[in-house]
């Protein structure tokens, strides 16, 4: 009974009640089977199993088939996701999904800490709308046609918009962006995935995830003084290291939770990505209810409250490891440079700066981003700014403010919290990623020049913010960054040092206070949301906007189904030696502008891989012509000659990321198989999804037997079956031949993908039937 809680105010026909009911049902089954107390992460995951009766559930071991509640994507990853989804022929996404335009807006800053008319968010936004018009038009029309909500450029950063509108306790969400776990601040289990996973869930396929281990972080004590939620995760990063969370969900608990608001918890969950965690999660707390109410979701807050036994850990729940953090004694931290796990308590930072010889003068200070632009963050930064203004102080270095959403920006503006930041000399950037993702046009520092910047962002790997490997990026809380902007010096410590005001007086900053939530509620600001038409008829009459001459976008045609025959006489495009990550297979950087154009981006295929024969990159011999050429050009030459080709890979082929382009490109250029010593599992699955054959040498040393001059046939495809090896027949240039056994890990379902040419084709056939 009672009022129903919609999944969001934009999705009035989807109810949280239904999700909870289904979750409860599945959990009942799982509990009967496991007979042990569960963590919150386990409750949410196992409560979303496709097959709770039969699923193999072993943390860190088995693979779970899950049914996420929603999907999110940004304007970078969203291009290929929507293109792939369109090629499936399905009429609309089967899971609630949204697109967020945040990654393509360039923030331009003045070399001085005061603003000129050509700087700031409005200017940046209109320049981006101009420069990216075709991408925005495509995403907007594709969203409308396929039932996906579209958030316009300027509406905000994906994770902040998700937190404000879509994250709800107990939901399982995937997002094509690594900081999706931000929603863990509202007890949503949220995981950053590759585009292929997003497409699957939109197409109604199960999402596969290795059952994560669960690492507990017990918080005691109470935050105080300059210490903020950011410092909790900066401390955790130091404890776990950049890879320490791999395969794990970090689950927080303990009495210290009481001093954290939902947005503070979101900051902590967001940056779990910096230790490689699958996700980070908080149990339901009363403060989450406050945030849900403040963001117009009182009904959901009440419902979650009534469901709370499933949203907190059982007593005696077992964690794989537990870390302890006492918030009362936790110091403010500054982490970096170049890696987020180089953690320095503020009291030790100055000495470390001297010892390491990092550039002492700060060249810029940047606050906001998806990680740290909550009302509380900005209120605390504004509290620092007000103290400085009262003393006549200004920022001594360029200082930027990136609001996470239009709602936050408008609310901060209404409550007078932006004015002090701007009066300090701050530039208000657009509600977008900007400098956080390298979309930063700065003119004050030459490329390669060593310099130090301080941000409240999350990732500080070399060249991330400004493309300059000489930039030493440090991360800290927004209030600390604001204080440092006043000093302009990395050796400053606001808890110990004073600043000299223009009148010569010494000013000591007091620890900032800031309200967690706006007492007058949130403003909505300029409308940034475009809903897809509700009716099937209306949607099906829409046209998706793609210019045939576009260099950035290209419609995908479904890949051809299997021809029913073995692979005959394939050329070896390249025999790869050593590490071959998805970045070697499909390089990022400048290529990202073609991520929506498969043919153009395919010109980067395998250019980073090392040729086992020559030790060189991107140079192979064409077996048809005898000439040397680049890998992509040689693949195209085979393709136009109608000659199938394969790749020979080494150990752990395709490690690194879930980038789907690394599987789409070889398929697009006529590749049939990758035969390796071993595969990284996600890439192996991605190859299967695109209709390629990932195969492994039964005898790993057989790798040495195959020469790139050989022609290879793959036998046994007509009897392709799970667990039955295939045969690789090699013919050498001298006419001699060999036969090798090659293994595969296809199951029946995946063999069906292969037969239809791709997982999407198989899905579409099933849908039409
Ligand atoms: Fe954007 Fe940076 Fe967050 S790129 S999504 S603001 S981590």
Same domain, 353 and 450: yes
Residues 6+ apart with CB under 8 A from 152: 101, 136, 140, 528, 529, 530
649 within a domain of the structure (yes/no): yes
pLDDT given for residue 409 in this prediction:
97
Beta-strand relationship, 279-281 and 321-326: unpaired
Domain ranges, residue 637: 567-768
Q: Whose CA is nearest to atom 1 of ligand 1?
A: 433
Distance 433 CA to ligand 1 centre (A): 5
CB atoms within 10 A of CB 524: 15
Name the residue of 180, 433, 458, 464 to mutate for ligand 1: max ligand atoms within 8 A of Cβ.
433
Q: Which of 487, 507, 527 is the last residue of a domain?
A: 507
Query: CA 38, 44, 45, 47: dihedral to nearest 10 degrees?
Result: 90
- Helix (H, G, I), strand (E, B), or coil: what is residue 142? helix
Distance 400 CA to ligand 1 centre (A): 15
Distance 345 CA to ligand 1 centre (A): 25
State how far Cα 628 lies from the chain centre. 38
Q: Whose CA is nearest to atom 6 of ligand 1?
A: 433
The alpha helices in 155-261, defined as continuous H runs, are 158-165, 195-202, 229-240
Distance 404 CA to ligand 1 centre (A): 9
Same domain, 580 and 481: no
> Which residue from 601, 562, 550 is spatially nearest to 80, judged by alpha carbons?
601
User: Residues near ligand 1 with C-beta < 6 Å?
Assistant: 102, 157-159, 177, 179, 369-370, 433, 436-437, 457-458
Both tokens assigned to 585: 């297979």
Q: Whose CA is nearest to atom 2 of ligand 1?
A: 436
User: What DSSP string describes 483-519?
Assistant: HHHHHTBTT--TTT--EE-TTS-EEPPPPP---SS-T
Ligand 1 atom index nearest CA of 74: 5
- Helix (H, G, I), strand (E, B), or coil: what is residue 151? strand
What separation in angstroms does the CA of 537 have from each of 65, 533, 534, 547?
33, 9, 9, 24
Ligand 1 atom index nearest CA of 177: 5
CATH of the domain at 683: 3.20.19.10
Q: Whose CA is nearest to atom 4 of ligand 1?
A: 437
Distance 76 CA to ligand 1 centre (A): 11
Same domain, 617 and 727: yes
317 within a domain of the structure (yes/no): no
Same domain, 598 and 502: no
- Helix (H, G, I), strand (E, B), or coil: what is residue 580? coil
Enumerate the active-site residues: 102-103, 177, 459, 657, 659
Query: Phi first, then psi: what are they for 5, rounded to 5°?
Result: -105, 110
Rounded Cα–Cα distance for residues 1 and 332 (Å) = 47
- Helix (H, G, I), strand (E, B), or coil: what is residue 30? helix
pLDDT tens per residue across span 409-430: 999 999 999 999 999 999 999 9
Q: Whose CA is nearest to atom 3 of ligand 1?
A: 370
Peptide bond into 337 cis (omega under 30): yes
Query: ∠ CA 638-641-646 to the nearest 5 degrees?
Result: 30
Ligand 1 atom index nearest CA of 158: 5
Rounded Cα–Cα distance for residues 483 and 506 (Å) = 15
pLDDT tens per residue across span 107-135: 999 887 766 667 889 999 999 999 999 99
| Stretches in the chain below the pLDDT threshold 50 | 1
- Helix (H, G, I), strand (E, B), or coil: what is residue 726? strand
Same domain, 648 and 741: yes
Same domain, 361 and 465: yes
Name the residue of 74, 377, 404, 457 to mutate for ligand 1: max ligand atoms within 8 A of Cβ.
457
Ligand 1 atom index nearest CA of 371: 3
State how far Cα 512 lies from the chain centre. 31
576 within a domain of the structure (yes/no): yes
What separation in angstroms does the CA of 158 have from each of 284, 403, 447, 588, 733?
22, 12, 30, 21, 55
Same domain, 478 and 616: no
Distance 728 CA to ligand 1 centre (A): 45
Same domain, 452 and 582: no
Residue the block writes with tokens 């300029």? 526
394 within a domain of the structure (yes/no): yes
Q: Which DSSP category does 598 fall into?
A: H
Ligand 1 atom index nearest CA of 182: 3
Length of the chain: 769
Full-prediction pTM beyond 0.80?
yes
Distance 606 CA to ligand 1 centre (A): 28
Distance 181 CA to ligand 1 centre (A): 12
422 within a domain of the structure (yes/no): yes
Same domain, 727 and 589: yes
pLDDT given for residue 115 in this prediction:
65
State how far Cα 579 lies from the chain centre. 23
Please say whether the beta carbons of 485 and 394 come within 8 A: no
Q: How many domains does the chain have?
A: 2
Residue the block writes with tokens 């296809």? 746
Distance 573 CA to ligand 1 centre (A): 37
Same domain, 365 and 449: yes
15 within a domain of the structure (yes/no): no
Q: Which of 480, 507, 534 is the last residue of a domain?
A: 507
Distance 158 CA to ligand 1 centre (A): 8
Ligand 1 atom index nearest CA of 459: 7
Distance 270 CA to ligand 1 centre (A): 10
pLDDT given for residue 1 in this prediction:
45
Name the residue of 177, 373, 455, 475 to mutate for ligand 1: max ligand atoms within 8 A of Cβ.
177
Name the residue of 181, 370, 588 to mutate for ligand 1: max ligand atoms within 8 A of Cβ.
370
The alpha helices in 669-747, defined as continuous H runs, are 681-689
Please say whether the beta carbons of 252 and 268 come within 8 A: yes
Q: Which of 486, 507, 528 is the last residue of a domain?
A: 507
Ligand 1 atom index nearest CA of 402: 6
Same domain, 764 and 661: yes
> Residue 603, exposed/middle/buried by CB under 10 A (0-12, 13-18, 19+)?
middle
723 within a domain of the structure (yes/no): yes
Name the residue of 102, 175, 431, 460 to mutate for ligand 1: max ligand atoms within 8 A of Cβ.
102
State how far Cα 238 lies from the chain centre. 21
Distance 271 CA to ligand 1 centre (A): 11
Rounded Cα–Cα distance for residues 477 and 456 (Å) = 5
> Which residue from 297, 487, 454, 290 is spatially nearest to 374, judged by alpha carbons?
290
CATH of the domain at 438: 3.30.499.10
Please say whether the beta carbons of 84 and 556 come within 8 A: yes
Distance 439 CA to ligand 1 centre (A): 11
Ligand 1 atom index nearest CA of 458: 7
Same domain, 502 and 571: no
pLDDT given for residue 287 in this prediction:
98
Rounded Cα–Cα distance for residues 593 and 584 (Å) = 17
Beta-strand relationship, 711-715 and 567-575: antiparallel
620 within a domain of the structure (yes/no): yes
Distance 436 CA to ligand 1 centre (A): 6
429 half-sphere exposure, CB direction, 13 A CA radius = 33
Name the residue of 104, 159, 400, 403 to mutate for ligand 1: max ligand atoms within 8 A of Cβ.
159
């Amino acid at each position: 009974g009672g009022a129903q809680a919609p999944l969001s105010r934009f999705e009035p026909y989807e109810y949280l009640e239904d999700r909870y009911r289904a979750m409860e049902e599945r959990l009942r089954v799982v509990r009967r089977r496991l007979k042990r107390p569960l963590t919150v992460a386990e409750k949410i995951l196992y409560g979303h199993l496709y097959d709770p009766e039969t699923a193999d559930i072993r943390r860190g071991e088995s693979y779970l088939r899950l049914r996420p509640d929603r999907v999110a994507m940004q304007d970078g990853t969203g291009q290929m996701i929507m293109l792939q989804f369109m090629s499936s022929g399905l009429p609309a996404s089967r899971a609630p999904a949204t697109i967020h335009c945040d990654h393509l807006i360039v923030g331009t800053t003045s070399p001085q800490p005061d603003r000129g008319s050509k700087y700031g968010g409005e200017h940046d936004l209109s320049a981006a709308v101009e420069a990216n018009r075709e991408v925005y038009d495509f995403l907007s029309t594709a969203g409308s046609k396929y039932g996906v909500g579209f958030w316009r450029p300027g509406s905000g950063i994906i994770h902040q918009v998700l937190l404000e509108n879509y994250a709800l306790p107990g939901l399982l969400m995937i997002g094509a962006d690594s900081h999706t776990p931000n929603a863990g601040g509202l007890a949503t289990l949220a995981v950053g995935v590759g585009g292929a996973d997003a497409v699957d869930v939109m197409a109604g396929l199960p999402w596969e995830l290795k059952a994560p281990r669960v690492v507990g972080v017990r918080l005691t004590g109470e935050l105080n003084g300059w210490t903020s939620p950011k410092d909790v995760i900066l401390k955790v990063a130091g404890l776990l290291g950049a890879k320490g969370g791999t395969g794990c969900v970090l689950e927080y608990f303990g009495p210290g939770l009481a001093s954290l608001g939902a947005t503070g918890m979101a900051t902590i969950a967001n940056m779990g990505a910096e230790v490689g965690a699958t996700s980070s999660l908080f149990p339901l707390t009363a403060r989450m209810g406050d945030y849900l109410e403040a963001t117009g979701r009182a009904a959901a807050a009440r419902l979650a409250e009534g469901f709370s036994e499933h949203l907190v850990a059982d007593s005696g729940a077992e964690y794989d490891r537990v870390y302890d953090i006492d918030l009362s004694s936790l110091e403010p931290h500054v982490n970096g440079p170049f890696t987020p796990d180089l953690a320095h308590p503020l009291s030790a930072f100055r000495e470390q700066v001297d010892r390491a010889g990092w550039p002492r003068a700060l060249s810029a200070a940047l606050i906001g981003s998806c990680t740290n632009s909550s009302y509380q963050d900005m209120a605390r930064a504004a509290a620092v700014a007000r103290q400085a203004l009262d003393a006549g102080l200004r920022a001594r270095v360029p200082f930027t403010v990136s609001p996470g959403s239009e709602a936050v920006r408008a609310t901060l503006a209404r409550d007078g919290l932006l004015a002090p930041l701007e009066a300090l000399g701050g530039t208000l950037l657009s509600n977008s990623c900007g400098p956080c993702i390298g979309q930063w046009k700065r003119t004050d520092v030459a490329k390669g020049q060593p310099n130090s910047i301080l941000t409240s962002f999350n990732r500080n790997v070399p060249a991330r913010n400004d493309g300059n490997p000489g930039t030493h990026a440090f991360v800290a809380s927004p209030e600390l960054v604001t204080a440092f902007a006043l000093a302009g010096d990395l050796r400053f410590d606001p808890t110990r040092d004073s600043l000299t005001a223009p009148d010569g007086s010494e000013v000591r900053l007091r620890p900032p206070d800031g309200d967690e939530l706006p007492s007058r509620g949130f403003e909505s600001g300029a409308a940034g949301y475009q809903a897809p038409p509700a009716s099937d008829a209306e949607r099906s009459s829409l046209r998706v906007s793609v210019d045939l001459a576009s260099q950035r976008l290209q419609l995908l045609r479904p890949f051809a189904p299997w021809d029913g025959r073995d692979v005959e006489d394939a050329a070896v495009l390249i025999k790869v030696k050593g590490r071959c990550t998805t970045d070697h297979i499909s390089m990022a950087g400048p290529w990202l502008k073609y991520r929506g154009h498969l043919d153009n981006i395919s010109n980067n295929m395998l250019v980073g891989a090392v040729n086992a024969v020559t030790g060189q990159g991107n140079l192979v011999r064409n077996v048809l012509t005898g000439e040397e050429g680049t890998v992509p050009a040689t693949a195209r030459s085979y393709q136009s000659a109608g000659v199938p080709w394969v790749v020979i890979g080494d150990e752990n082929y395709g490690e690194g990321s879930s980038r789907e382009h690394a599987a789409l490109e070889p398929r697009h250029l006529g590749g049939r198989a990758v035969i390796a010593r071993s595969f990284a599992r996600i890439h192996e699955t991605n190859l299967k999804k695109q209709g390629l054959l990932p195969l492994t040498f039964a005898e790993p040393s057989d790798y040495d037997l195959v020469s790139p001059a050989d022609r290879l046939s793959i036998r046994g495809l007509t009897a392709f079956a799970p667990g039955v090896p295939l045969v690789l027949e090699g013919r050498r240039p001298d006419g001699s031949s060999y036969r090798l056994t090659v293994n595969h890990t296809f199951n029946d379902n995946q063999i069906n993908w292969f037969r239809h040419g791709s997982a999407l084709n198989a899905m579409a056939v099933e849908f039409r039937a």
